[in-house]
Amino acid sequence: MPQQSALSVLVYDGDCAFCATSVRHFMRRLRPKCTVVPWQFTDLDALGVTQQRAEHELLYIVPTGTVYGGAQAVAKLLLRAGGIWAWPGGLLTLPPVRWIAHGLYRAIATHRDRMPGGSPMCALTADHRSG
């Protein structure tokens, strides 16, 4: 059973410059009450997630142990930030916006090495590009 925490946990790829820069940028603006950690420096087993999933997408784990990934992790982060940020967060949970957000998230994640601030270290391996 995953370890329970009083705060939600946001897990990102600390080896990816694009991911790390994006997370820092949004955390400064959103200021949600959560712990932010690169997957490389956390006990993924205790959080109930695999390294493969952490390499594949941003993860948002709520205190009950429920794990949200990709665009839905972004939605939960926005909802948790509250205020005006809750509106786009709520929209991201509703079809068809949810489906569009998933496709956009996957496209960005697949090509994150080509995004501003990205580098060859940011590239996903072939087995992480789909889905």
pLDDT in tens, 92-108: 999 999 999 999 999 99
- Residue 31, Ramachandran bin (φ over 0: left; ψ between -120 and 50: alpha; else beta): left
Kindly give the interhelix angle for 17-30 and 71-81, rounded to the nearest 10 degrees: 20
For residues 128 and 47, the model is more confident at 47
Stretch 76-100: mean pLDDT = 96
The secondary structure of 34-51 as a DSSP string is EEEEEGGGS-HHHHT--H
pTM: 0.86
Angstrom CA distances, 9 to 42, 76, 111, stand at 10, 11, 25
Is the pLDDT reported for residue 2 higher than 80?
no
| DSSP H helical ranges for 31-125 | 44-47, 51-56, 71-81, 86-91, 97-110
Name the residue among 38, 103, 117, 41 with its Cα closest to residue 72: 103
pLDDT in the model for residue 98? 97
